[in-house]
Amino acid sequence: MTMLDIKIELTTKPKEKPAPDELGFGHYFTDHMFVLDYTEGIGWHDGRIVPYQPLSLDPSAMIFHYGQSVFEGLKAYVTVNNEALLFRADRNFKRLNNSNARLCIPEIDEQYALEALKQLVSIDREWIPSAPGTSLYIRPFIIATEPNLGVHPSKNYQFIIIMSPSGSYYKEGINPVKIMVEEQFVRAVKGGTGEAKTGGNYASALKGQQIADKEGYSQTLWLDGKENKYVEEVGSMNIFFKINGTVITPALNGSILPGITRDSMIQVLKSKQIPVEERRISIDEVVEAAHQGTLEEVFGTGTAAVISPVGELKYLDEKIIINNGEIGEVSQMLYDTLTGIQNGKIEDTFGWTIRL
């Protein structure tokens, strides 16, 4: 794909921006969106920024039938110095291409996508909320649009970026969550689509989430699909355990999403000389550590919450309380460091921030 011009059509009816305390997550959308078409034989073409508007698709468009789709999630922030920045956006487009490869979707030009995103954010710059903890959530996604019921990779796609001003995930300080280990249902398996960011993984996970909800737990802890023994992810986040001073997170094995926040956490831990291991960890090892009193902290990581400390873990009939149900020291440090880099209070020595 060659570097294409991006046509820009600005809205004539700018929407009213919601109040900062009404934002929530993923409810409101900015005035513009980016769209890029793919046509077999032509490639990606007609990149454009247009007013946010409905998609019109034939009912036989393949996205409605065979789930061929990928997406990303990242954020833009306003710093304390009123600068707008993106966080590791290059990594998101790299991962999008990894997902594309698994889902048989043609790859995008990562540099072009980043350039398009920068232009889009610049145009909707005033939509980035500035209250503490708020941000502009960005959702790039690709859908199969060929109007055909045959089961094969689509010949047409749309790559779209929409953006949603989002509220603080933690309105009254960080509240640890209660999670339960899912025993019946499986999110992903080696050889499946677990390491790709594709709709089917999330659809598959809804049932476990529903069971957790009913039992009063806010997230599901997923075990591997082969042996139902090794820890994979929690909800739609990666998971970390601090056991006896060492932070352990499941190694990327093909069925775990390679989280960008996960990677950032590992780098921060290393920079602070806190021992960190990426390896296979069984649920039995976690329970055993809890029994021995060495399970010091548990936390999930992801773009939305940055960190989600786990205060209670249910496995079979046992309920394990972690760190008295409070956020741990390392979790708090990681949260403060990452959000500090994102809001410009802490110098970015990692080269993660992209200024607009």
Q: Is 103 in the site for its own copies (CB under 8 A)?
A: yes
**In 286-347, where do the E strands start and end?**
295-302, 306-315, 318-321
CA distance 170 to 311: 15
The structure tokens listed for 117 are 């995103």
Task: Look at strands 7-8 and 43-51 and give their pairing.
Answer: parallel
CB of 353 to its own copies, least distance (A): 23
Residue 242's Cβ-side half-sphere holds a number of Cα atoms within 13 Å equal to: 23
CA distance 100 to 196: 8
Q: Is 41 in the site for its own copies (CB under 8 A)?
A: no
CB of 34 to its own copies, least distance (A): 10
Q: Is 69 in the site for its own copies (CB under 8 A)?
A: yes
Q: Is 204 in the site for its own copies (CB under 8 A)?
A: yes
Q: Is 52 in the site for its own copies (CB under 8 A)?
A: yes
Taking a C-beta distance cutoff of 8 angstroms, is the pair 145, 57 a contact?
Answer: yes
Q: Is 63 in the site for its own copies (CB under 8 A)?
A: yes
Residue 74 has phi, psi (to 5 degrees) of: -155, 180
Q: Is 214 in the site for its own copies (CB under 8 A)?
A: no
The Cα-based distances of 53 to 10, 14, 36, 221 in angstroms read 12, 12, 14, 37
Taking a C-beta distance cutoff of 8 angstroms, is the pair 230, 281 a contact?
Answer: yes
CB of 314 to its own copies, least distance (A): 18
Task: Look at strands 246-249 and 276-278 and give their pairing.
Answer: parallel
Cβ closer to its own copies: 137 or 230? Answer: 137
CA distance 330 to 274: 9
Q: Is 230 in the site for its own copies (CB under 8 A)?
A: no
Q: Is 316 in the site for its own copies (CB under 8 A)?
A: no
Return the residue of 91, 102, 125, 155 that touches its own copies, per CB under 8 A: 102
Site residues for its own copies, window 133-172 (CB under 8 A)?
A: 137, 139, 141, 143, 148-153, 160, 162, 164
Going by C-alpha positions, the residue among 86, 142, 77 that lies closest to residue 115 is 86
Interface size with its own copies, residues (CB under 8 A):
67
Chain position carrying tokens 């350039």: 115
Return the residue of 4, 20, 25, 170 that touches its own copies, per CB under 8 A: 25
Cβ closer to its own copies: 58 or 318? Answer: 58
Cβ closer to its own copies: 187 or 242? Answer: 187
CB of 192 to its own copies, least distance (A): 5
Question: Interface with its own copies by CB under 8 A: which residues?
Answer: 25-27, 29, 33, 52-61, 63-69, 71, 102-104, 137, 139, 141, 143, 148-153, 160, 162, 164, 184-193, 198-207, 209-210, 225-228, 235-236
